[in-house]
Amino acid sequence: MIPGFATHTVDCAGLPVHVATGGSGPAVLLLHGFPQTHAMWHSVGPALAEHFTVFAPDLRGYGATGKPEGTAPYSFRHMAADQKALLRHFGIEHCHVIGHDRGGRVAHRLALDAPDVVSTLTVMDIVPTHLLLDELTRQVATAYYHWFFLAQPAPFPETMIGHDPDAYFESCLLGWGAAEISDFDPGALDAYRKAWRNPDAIRGMCADYRAALNTDFDLDAADLHRQVDCPALVLYGADGAMAGVYDIPGTWSDRLTNMVYSAIPGGHFFVDQHPRETAQALLDFLTKHR
């Protein structure tokens, strides 16, 4: 539900991927996070589409994209491969890749696994997955308890969440710094609610977090020596939970060799809270590397 965008369902190696597209010019890939869908880009997408061709898919397990069984298919490596297949479908060889939350982790993995595809990398309000888990602090475990709740064996978290999906997922939207429900566009909220009320989506989101602990941690451990060399932007919410615990740019300094960074007003969901500031920060960065 991005104004002016068309929607498609693309077969990516057997996985149906739902994607919204709009604009013209160099390609930009927008990747959403938990517990949202591509609808989070409802304001930022059209601003970028004035200068770029924008692709905004739902990640596997989320929204209207396919939801495989099991845990292994939900690694960030699999999700990154989906994006590469999606771009290939549209004939895109190089792309600016932007990801918020889980989408930022997918974007980072895509830059590691397919550096020839990623022209620039933008990660939003995350610290590296391996660092967060390997150096877990009491403050982070308290703020981001959902990592460990969602990763519990099925069907425990699915059953608990399924009793009232709106109550659980809306608590997530409000739980990571400086957000009120009024900060979220009513149309986007409707899209999120429709998506997360689907039991298969609840299962897929839980599998995403199980894969982070069971698969992605080890993949990232094996790649700690590797760096991303393309131009990179680190954006984060000035009042978010992570900014209160970490020097967020500092956590990326040994992973991104050509990095700039900026704080945006608001918390973890600053894209929803301050879309104009977010879009301007992205345009300033992308136009320098057009």
> Where along the chain do its domains lie?
6-288
What pLDDT is recorded for position 1?
82
| CATH placement of domain 6-288 | 3.40.50.1820
Does residue 18 carry a catalytic annotation? no
Residues 6+ apart with CB under 8 A from 45: 2, 5, 20, 22, 30, 54, 56
C-alpha to C-alpha distance for 213 and 176, rounded to whole angstroms? 20
Cβ within 8 Å of residue 79, ≥6 positions away: 59, 60, 106, 109
- Report how far residue 239's alpha carbon sits from residue 209's, in angstroms, rounded to the nearest whole number: 24
> What is d(CA 261, CA 249) in angstroms, rounded to the nearest whole number?
6
Report in angstroms the alpha-carbon separations of 5 from 1, 19, 49, 132, 198: 8, 10, 9, 35, 24
What is the token pair recorded at 176? 């990571």
Q: Is 90 exceeded by the pLDDT of residue 114?
A: yes
Q: Which of 101, 220, 239, 272 is catalytic?
A: 101
What pLDDT was estimated at residue 104? 98
pLDDT at residue 20, rounded to an integer? 98
Residue in 18, 38, 268, 274 annotated catalytic: 268
- Greatest Cα pair distance in the chain: 48
Residues 48, 283: contact at Cβ < 8 Å? yes
The CA distance from 164 to 264, in Å, is: 32
Q: Taking a C-beta distance cutoff of 8 angstroms, is the pair 117, 94 a contact? A: yes
What's the one-letter identity of residue 55? Answer: F
Sequence-distant (6+) residues with CB within 8 A of 250 are none
pLDDT at 278 over 90: yes
Half-sphere exposure of 287 (CA within 13 A, CB side): 11
Return the H-helix or E-strand segment holding 120: strand 118-124
* DSSP code string of 188-235: HHHHHHHHHTSHHHHHHHHHHHHHIIIIIHHHHHHTTT--B-S-EEEE
Report residue 127 CA to chain centroid gap.
12
Residue 222 main-chain phi, psi, to 5 deg? -70, -20
What percentage of residues in the chain have a pLDDT greater than 90? Answer: 97
Residue 80 main-chain phi, psi, to 5 deg: -65, -40
Q: What is the pLDDT of residues 131-189, one digit of tens each?
A: 999 999 999 999 999 999 999 999 999 999 999 999 999 999 998 767 889 999 999 99
Mean pLDDT of 99-120: 98
Q: Is 183 in the active site?
A: no
Which amino acid does the sequence have at 215? T
Q: Span 45-59, mean pLDDT?
A: 98
| Tokens read off for 46 | 């059209």
Residues 6+ apart with CB under 8 A from 185: 42, 43, 272
Question: Whole-angstrom Cα distance, residue 257 to residue 184?
Answer: 34
pLDDT, average across residues 191-197? 98
Q: What is the pLDDT of residues 234-264, one digit of tens each?
A: 999 999 999 999 999 999 999 999 999 999 9
